[in-house]
Structure 1
């Protein structure tokens, strides 16, 4: 089953204006995007965002109220699940407990009428693919959670589907095994060139594994882009808050443009920012705005040493997290303390509760959103 990029088995998936309602609740609201051939795209969002419902419609287990789904040039919107030729991996593995590992993997091939010789060859290749060659005779109950998940992946890939759907497949694993499986699945996907659509609520998992991430909220596609684009250039406060850690402060727009805007904060503090997200009318002088800042893009100085645009505050506490320290700083007008992430050596050492400090941020690291009032 080893393949080169030229031999990639993946197909393009086109989602066009898909909607799905349950009574008066619109679970998926007019979603459109394209997953490229051999691409790994994650559907990311909180519970109730519509990501699993969308995946179930691609799989054929739910029917859309409107819109269409295409795999390659084939419209599969109304095609039965078993006729779509799509692989599926669930969170709970769904292995048949009365079958051996080899029999589980062979099952999709038997349903497709493959010969005995072809089944044996493909099962052997699939076991090698997930590095469990010696486990074919075992029962699922004799495997660890990680091994069961590998077998579930092997079963989904054994008939070489053009698209593999994965619905929170690592949710039942512990943190260390989950991180190991993330790398294994991504590596496997890259070797095979299969198109993967992966549902998760874990933003770190989505950033680690995906070529692109589709962020969903309340049934809508809020933003889609590479992990780096979403992290560095969030288009809404929701995406900024959901992808990674973010500090938010309420201020008012004083003047300027996307290249250099001036924002006023409580305590007669003025900071410069780049990147305005909203309409010109929302950024009129005196209008409320929310600024967003990543903890690792902030630095700390002793009070009075941070310069004219520093935000003064008082340290509440500091915690050590291995490779970095997080210092929590209370600033005027903020409901929550500002999180400042500093390297474990050097700058992160020496700040404690009650210290008077200046929080300093480069203007290129500040995102400005029109405030929802």
Structure 2
């Protein structure tokens, strides 16, 4: 009988060494590659099979390419627009090999992600004003964790922070934020259960002014509301901050947190929130657990806001500055 091979159990010293190696900060490039493992497996593999070295461009090639983009959560309309643009550009360049069209696709995808950033040049915090960062999104996207990651990053750069627990409706929302506050080191301003979120924001901005705190991060409720109610609530929160600090002394940014695993649902969420509030940027969360990262192209097209960050894990350090070149390069394999 042949026994299955079993790995030798590592010694305590070897186990500690492996643990220390795993805990070392990893280069952003390798983190991008790991984060996109699932999406690349679903999308990149299909594209590599489609655009092999010897494959010639035909009508069937473009049809298959459009199917591949739809499977990657581009959405049918954006997939069709993308393929038609590639078809025109390939004809203009005289390209007849699929690998050449693949190169055009990479350029086009990078441009789609970089264009909103070039148009808006968003500034998360202002050096001379009280900065208010509103974190919005539906339930389950990871808004509270994202807030903590941002706070840690800002505080590491010498920027003081306080959090406003404006999610007064979800059970244990305040407690979750306070746990993160203890871990990272920021104070949480909260109100009574079911309190008006705007009143919590008012108190938090007032606290920031009185204590020379630079940035207020607002954790909002994640309810899927009607457009009218959503606009009213977010506008009221903004007015509360202005009422305390004054418009001249206030710098506000609005971040929308999306769950990469939800596919086309993220597009509808982006449309709803972009109609309700002027979005400064998008945070694509849970990218490491999704095979549907391609949805970000449809999201950016739908709302016109740039992607600023990607959440790639559950710890306070698992936040990457979004890099369109790294994203597309690792997406395509």
TM-score, reference length from structure 1 = 0.29
The structure with the greater share of residues assigned to helix is 2
Greater RCO (CA < 8 Å, at least 6 residues apart): 2
The structure with the greater share of residues assigned to strand is 1
Question: Looking at CA atoms only, which structure, 1 or 2, has the larger radius of gyration?
Answer: 1
